[in-house]
Amino acid sequence: MSAQRTLSIIKPDATARNVTGSINARFEQAELRIIAQKKIQLTKAQAEKFYEVHSDKAFYDSLCEYMSSAPVVVQVLYGDNAVAKNREIMGATNPANAEIGTIRRDFGQSIEHNAVHGSDCVENAEIEIAFFFSGLELVG
């Protein structure tokens, strides 16, 4: 196994419900280190750019509206197999289908308001990290 970086976002439904610390405890318990972190509020245009890959989906406009509706915490997680490990800890996209004990099962509200984002592969992780952070902000 090799050490990787992945992008994590704590989404508006979770920041609104004041559970960012509870969610981050899950990552730390799984030996993922938060090596960069900031709380920001995306503009709708920024959310549209970030989720451009989904621009043909019926849920795209609603997703971008939601992601820009309140602050989010964007962060970089680092550790062995971080991309897949994060996806496992997050659980399935729809909280109703997510395994018991996963973040989305425990903190998600709906398929759209599902508490967290995580990169889906190493290549996209590096692209998504660069969307939010400069190299100087990745402090290890």
Q: Which residues are catalytic?
A: 117
Number of residues located near Mg ion, criterion CB under 5 A: 1
Considering only residues 64-123, where is the footprint of Mg ion by CB under 5 A? Answer: 120
Half-sphere exposure of 84 (CA within 13 A, CB side): 5
**Smallest separation (angstroms) from ligand ADP to the CB of 90:** 7
- Tell me how crowded residue 127 is: count the other CB atoms within 10 A of its CB: 11
Residues found near ligand ADP in the complex (CB under 6 A): 54, 59, 63, 93, 111-112, 114, 117, 120
**Smallest separation (angstroms) from ligand ADP to the CB of 135:** 25
Between 6 and 24, CB nearer to ligand ADP:
6
Q: Give the sign of the dihedral formed by CA 100, CA 101, CA 102, CA 104.
A: positive
Between 30 and 111, CB nearer to ligand ADP:
111
DSSP for 1-13?
--EEEEEEEE-HH
Between 112 and 126, CB nearer to ligand ADP:
112
> Which of ligand ADP, Mg ion, none has residue 63 at its interface (CB below 5 to 8 Å by kind)?
ligand ADP
Looking up tokens 């990745």 gives 138
Stated length of the chain = 140
* Helix/strand/coil for 38: strand
**95 secondary structure, DSSP code:** G
Q: Footprint of Mg ion on this chain (CB under 5 A)?
A: 120
